[in-house]
Structure 1
Amino acid sequence: MTTQRPVFLDMTKMRFPVTAIASILHRITGILLFLFVPLAIYLLGASLHSPQSFADMIQWIHRPGIAFLIWLMLSATSYHLLAGIRHLLMDCGIAEQFKQAQITVYIVLLLTVACMVLLGVWLW
């Protein structure tokens, strides 16, 4: 049975619930973390090579663009970790109701913003 219902695919006009936005952000931060793995491996390898390379790496990290990338990587890590803990709690049956899930999303977002601010203060 085929129906002729109108299809509305304009994503800019759709209004997603906060839980859907949190889920999408969790996936995006997972992709970002995957993409940042080569940078993290390079930084680790270069910093462990010798004392001089460690000192060079510290100078390199203090460049504004590199510091921003590191802040972005650590911010994505903090959100992904907190949202992952939230998902694990939901898998255990905690906060499965929609209203409780909304509250936990706001808690995760608030904690992530706090982590981002603290990371920014720590890096700069």
Structure 2
Amino acid sequence: MKKQRPVNLDLTTIELPAAGKASILHRVTGVAMFFALVFVIWAWATSLGSEADFQMVKDVLNGPFGYVVALGTLSALSFHLLGGIRHVIMDMGYWEELHSGNLSANIAIGGWIVLTVVLGVILW
């Protein structure tokens, strides 16, 4: 028995609401922070080797690569924190409706962009 239902396989035609985008971003930033730990563990382990290794890690962290890694990690952390707070509030029964859920997602995404710009200026 074949089900008669529409099938849309062209993913470029699907427009996610803001709440869907925020949910996906929350997952992506969690994964990004996990992979940022690889760099943090490398820097920590290498810097404990010798004074020359410490100086090399310090030079890497003070260079453009260190800036990008630090800003990316702090950006991921800021959105993951904002998204996590949003999810906790939703777990308490608020912002579950379509309009309020999308509004809270837009606020979280907007706050994330503002925080990333502010952190970028502070780190520069």
TM range, smaller chain: 0.7 to 0.9
TM-score by length of 1: 0.85
Gapped runs of 5+ residues in structure 2? none
TM-score by length of 2: 0.85
Identity %: 37
Cα distance between partner residues in 2 of 1:82 and 1:51: 39
Match of 1:10 in 2: 10
Give the aligned residue type for 1:67.
Answer: Y
User: 1:31 Cα deviation (Å)?
Assistant: 1.0
User: 1:48 Cα deviation (Å)?
Assistant: 6.4
Cα distance between partner residues in 2 of 1:58 and 1:115: 25
Match of 2:101 in 1: 101
Higher relative contact order (CA 8 A, sep 6+): 2
Aligned Cα RMSD in Å? 2.1
Which sits farther off after the overlay, 2-11 or 109-118?
Answer: 2-11
Match of 1:85 in 2: 85
Give the aligned residue type for 1:78.
Answer: S
Give the aligned residue type for 1:39.
Answer: F
Runs of 4+ more than 4 Å apart: 45-56
